[in-house]
């Protein structure tokens, strides 16, 4: 890795006292290897972290085509590894003994977490180093996969978004304009229909993979033990779900988080959240989610991505306080838990617009990340929505595009924070179409799309031209997977605190807890819950509050 001013934090050297403290948490005694001997290879699951006692340990990466390349050298008093060492996911780097051999202590994931939690000083040093190393991997695309395709291909953008959202390093080669990309396509004998390609660090090549196929190849998706009974299972890895997992695991509960795509949820797509307490300069949704994810791993939370829940099996009505809750996942895996937290959030609606289906795969996005901004650079775009997420997207996109048409049905003051309204009003290239709806879109030539706007009151119509459409219109809950087993309101949001259904009329003679659903031991928090405040801080607060109710439910469950 390149040298920079934070190398002393990325590669800290422990003091003799800190080394002595760390030794108490090691998986075993010291091990010694001769010069150049292999410790473990790139991609090995459950690869340990090493504390070098003597000599040197060299880290290397494998890019799938060009063989091994050196990443870093760890010397006496330094720890190897990065965030994956906390989770058991495949190692982004391999390790071998240095030119004079080495002696080291090994720390598997469980012992490493014990050290980080058991010694605040050493733990802070290691966590900071691991986070900074992962950031360096991401910035340079080191240790990850190679994506090969055309930059405007929606499938390539989807793969980039998936890997970026999950904090997985990668580089992108354009098969049309990058010399290396063209050479690779010719060398591999690939046809345009095969693109995009993903080359895993192991050298495995996937043709136009789904997110699930990519995750399996990269080892992001874990193998779950069906015999484990978790204290709490959480569906949804947004701010609410991650907050629940952190508070639950830090208080000794065995927790697992399941999400069908990535960490961060809807908030993860926010370019900058400026009204979240404690971040006066703002923080991106992805950065907030990444920090929460690291915290969850620190406390031993299992995070299962990307796995969709196929079926929810609720407790046996005859023994609701003792029978498990079961999540049947895609691919045949299963999660069994004593309690369940529904934190699956909400997704933006797809409005009824004539012609939308014809452009949906190539010119429509439900989030505004750096990928979309790059795709729309110096072009005209349209955005539908009047909430805070829409406002954040406008502020992020406007400096990067030529003109932005903001289409809103109501006055912005009804749904958007004032600081965002003020900022939007100061943007010279934003046209605000108040009280209007987009009723028709049709492609008039590549890349132009002609849109027809209709005013809700006057019925007056006017046209605008853009190349990309962003949808931030309203929200509908992600509750289809519950199969109608949980009481919901007329809009589909989960109802809480109102009592149990008829089949659970008497449950230990108790009433439902405030965040508990119509089924005992199943809770709902965040955007998916009826009556919730649709703010990141509120979601995090409910994630913390639900844990105390889970403790009470577990105590009654026995």
Look-up: residue for tokens 């529904």?
342
- Mapped onto helix, strand or coil, the DSSP state of residue 175 is coil
Compute the half-sphere exposure of residue 204: CA atoms within 13 Å on the CB side of its CA. 14
CA distances from 436 to 204, 359, 407, 426 (A): 50, 21, 6, 21
Cα–Cα distance for residue pair 357/359, rounded to 1 Å: 6
Tell whether 12 and 130 lie within a shared domain: yes
CA torsion through residues 124, 126, 130, 136, sign: positive
Query: What is the per-residue pLDDT across 51-76, written as a single tens digit (0 to 9) for each?
Result: 999 999 999 987 656 667 899 999 99
Residue 342 belongs to some domain of the structure: yes
The secondary structure of 152-173, three-state, reads CCHHHHHHHHHHHHCCCCEEEE
pLDDT of residue 192: 83
Residues across the chain: 558
pLDDT of residue 272: 85
Tell whether 293 and 208 lie within a shared domain: no
Residue 466 belongs to some domain of the structure: yes
Cα–Cα distance for residue pair 406/397, rounded to 1 Å: 11
Tell me if 177 sits within 8 A of 149, measured CB to CB.
no
Tell me if 438 sits within 8 A of 452, measured CB to CB.
yes
Tell whether 341 and 486 lie within a shared domain: yes
Residue 2 belongs to some domain of the structure: no
| Widest CA span in the chain | 82
- Spell out where 343-402 has E strands: 346-347, 364-365, 380-384
The CATH number of the domain holding residue 194 is 3.40.30.10
Which of 471, 506, 530 terminates a domain? The answer is: 471
The CATH number of the domain holding residue 448 is 3.50.50.60
pLDDT of residue 504: 76
Tell whether 154 and 177 lie within a shared domain: yes
The pLDDT of 326-344, averaged and rounded, is 96
- Categorize the per-residue pLDDT at 125 as very low, low, confident or very high, splitting at 50, 70 and 90: very high
**Cβ-based neighbours of 16, under 8 Å, separated by 6 or more:** none
The pLDDT of 80-109, averaged and rounded, is 95
CA torsion through residues 275, 279, 283, 289, sign: negative
pLDDT of residue 134: 94
Residue 40 belongs to some domain of the structure: yes
Which of 140, 158, 183 terminates a domain? The answer is: 140
The pLDDT of 353-360, averaged and rounded, is 94
Cα–Cα distance for residue pair 431/429, rounded to 1 Å: 7
- pLDDT of 80 higher than 60: yes
Tell whether 548 and 449 lie within a shared domain: no
Above pLDDT 70, what percent of the chain?
Answer: 97
pLDDT of residue 296: 97
- pLDDT of 274 higher than 80: yes
pLDDT of residue 5: 62
Above pLDDT 90, what percent of the chain?
Answer: 73
CA torsion through residues 291, 297, 299, 304, sign: positive
Tell whether 39 and 106 lie within a shared domain: yes
pLDDT of residue 508: 61
Which neighbouring-strand residues pair with 235? 258, 342
pLDDT of residue 522: 97
Residue 345 falls in which region: left (phi positive, over 0), alpha (psi -120 to 50) or beta: left
pLDDT of residue 505: 63
pLDDT of residue 66: 63
Cα–Cα distance for residue pair 62/156, rounded to 1 Å: 22
Number of structural domains the chain divides into: 4
- pLDDT of 144 higher than 90: no
- Spell out where 158-264 has E strands: 170-174, 197-199, 205-207, 229-235, 255-258
Tell me if 107 sits within 8 A of 50, measured CB to CB.
yes
Tell whether 196 and 150 lie within a shared domain: yes
Mean pLDDT of the chain, nearest integer: 92
Owning domain of residue 170: 145-218
CA distances from 86 to 15, 255, 293 (A): 22, 15, 11
Neighbour-count burial of 406, counting CB atoms closer than 10 A to its CB (0-12 exposed, 13-18 middle, 19+ buried): buried
pLDDT of residue 438: 97
**Cβ-based neighbours of 352, under 8 Å, separated by 6 or more:** none
| Residue predicted with more confidence, 515 or 140 | 515
Tell whether 464 and 537 lie within a shared domain: no
Tell whether 90 and 238 lie within a shared domain: no
CA torsion through residues 270, 275, 276, 281, sign: positive
Residue 224 belongs to some domain of the structure: no
Q: What DSSP element (H or E) covers 121? A: helix 120-140
pLDDT of residue 190: 84
The pLDDT of 346-351, averaged and rounded, is 89
Tell me if 318 sits within 8 A of 300, measured CB to CB.
no
pLDDT of residue 219: 87
Q: Which of the given ranges, 100-114, 167-181, 200-214, has the highest pLDDT on average?
A: 100-114
Which of 471, 502, 536 terminates a domain? The answer is: 471
Residue 223 belongs to some domain of the structure: no
CA distances from 464 to 64, 432, 438, 487 (A): 46, 12, 10, 43
- Mapped onto helix, strand or coil, the DSSP state of residue 523 is strand
Residue 439 belongs to some domain of the structure: yes
Tell whether 333 and 482 lie within a shared domain: yes
pLDDT of residue 179: 83
- CA-nearest of 333, 346, 342, 344 to 314 is 342
Look-up: residue for tokens 């003792």?
322
Say what the pTM is.
0.92
Q: Of the ranges 33-47, 230-244, 498-512, which one carries the lowest mean pLDDT score?
A: 498-512
Tell whether 516 and 495 lie within a shared domain: yes
pLDDT of residue 507: 63
CA distances from 285 to 245, 271, 288, 369, 499 (A): 18, 6, 5, 10, 34
Tell whether 466 and 481 lie within a shared domain: no
Residue 255 belongs to some domain of the structure: yes
Look-up: residue for tokens 């204290």?
231
CA distances from 539 to 240, 288, 345, 536, 544 (A): 5, 13, 10, 5, 9
Q: Which two tokens stand for residue 166?
A: 């999950």
Q: What DSSP element (H or E) covers 371? A: helix 370-375
The CATH number of the domain holding residue 38 is 2.60.120.10
- CA-nearest of 83, 97, 85 to 44 is 85
Query: What is the per-residue pLDDT across 478-525, written as a single tens digit (0 to 9) for each?
Result: 999 999 999 999 999 999 999 888 777 666 678 899 999 999 999 999
């Amino acid at each position: 890795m390149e040298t920079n001013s934070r190398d002393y934090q990325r590669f800290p050297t422990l003091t003799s006292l800190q080394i002595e403290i760390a030794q108490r948490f090691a998986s075993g005694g010291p091990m010694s290897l001769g010069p150049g001997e292999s410790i473990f290879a790139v991609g090995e699951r459950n690869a340990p972290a090493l504390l070098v006692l003597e000599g040197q340990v060299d880290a290397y990466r494998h890019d799938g085509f060009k063989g091994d390349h050196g990443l870093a050298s760890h010397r006496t008093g330094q720890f190897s590894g990065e965030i994956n060492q906390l989770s058991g996911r495949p190692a982004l780097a391999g390790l071998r003994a240095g030119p004079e051999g080495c002696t080291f202590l090994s720390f598997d994931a469980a012992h490493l977490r014990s050290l980080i939690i058991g010694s605040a000083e050493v733990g802070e040093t290691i966590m900071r180093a691991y986070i900074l190393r992962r950031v360096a991997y991401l910035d340079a695309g080191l240790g990850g996969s190679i994506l090969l395709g055309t930059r405007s291909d929606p499938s390539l953008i989807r793969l980039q978004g998936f890997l970026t959202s999950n904090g997985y390093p990668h580089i992108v080669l354009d098969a049309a304009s990058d010399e290396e990309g063209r050479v690779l396509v010719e060398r591999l004998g690939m046809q345009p229909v095969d693109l995009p390609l993903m080359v895993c660090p192991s050298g495995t090549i996937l043709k136009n993979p789904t997110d699930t196929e990519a995750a399996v190849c990269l080892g992001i998706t874990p193998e779950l033990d069906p015999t484990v009974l978790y204290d709490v299972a959480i569906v949804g890895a947004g701010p609410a779900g991650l907050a629940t997992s952190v508070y639950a695991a830090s208080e000794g509960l065995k927790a697992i988080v399941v999400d069908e795509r990535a960490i961060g949820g809807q908030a993860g797509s926010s370019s900058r959240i400026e009204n979240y307490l404690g971040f006066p300069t703002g923080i991106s949704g992805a950065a907030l989610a990444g920090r929460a994810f690291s915290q969850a791993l620190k406390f031993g939370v299992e995070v299962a991505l990307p796995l969709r829940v196929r079926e929810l099996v609720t407790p046996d009505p005859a023994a609701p306080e003792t029978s498990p809750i079961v999540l049947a996942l895609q691919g045949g895996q299963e999660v069994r838990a004593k309690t369940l937290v529904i934190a699956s959030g909400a997704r933006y609606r797809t409005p009824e617009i004539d012609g939308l289906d014809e452009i949906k795969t190539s010119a429509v996005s439900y989030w505004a990340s750096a990928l979309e901004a790059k795709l729309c650079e110096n072009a005209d775009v349209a955005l539908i929505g009047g909430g805070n997420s829409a406002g954040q997207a406008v502020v992020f996109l406007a400096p990067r595009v030529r003109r932005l048409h903001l289409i809103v049905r109501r006055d912005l003051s009804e749904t958007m924070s004032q600081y965002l309204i003020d900022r939007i009003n100061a943007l010279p290239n934003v046209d605000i179409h108040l009280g209007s709806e987009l009723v028709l879109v049709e492609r008039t030539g590549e890349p132009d799309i002609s849109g027809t706007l209709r005013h809700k009151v006057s019925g007056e119509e006017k046209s605008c031209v853009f190349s990309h459409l962003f949808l931030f219109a309203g929200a509908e809950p992600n509750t289809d997977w519950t199969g109608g087993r949980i009481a919901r309101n007329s809009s589909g949001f989960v109802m809480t605190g109102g009592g149990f259904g008829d089949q659970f009329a008497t449950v230990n003679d108790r009433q439902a807890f405030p965040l508990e659903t119509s089924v005992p031991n199943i809770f709902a928090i965040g955007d998916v819950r009826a009556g919730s405040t649709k703010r990141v801080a509120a979601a995090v607060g409910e994630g913390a509050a639900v844990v105390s109710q889970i403790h009470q439910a577990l105590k009654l469950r026995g």
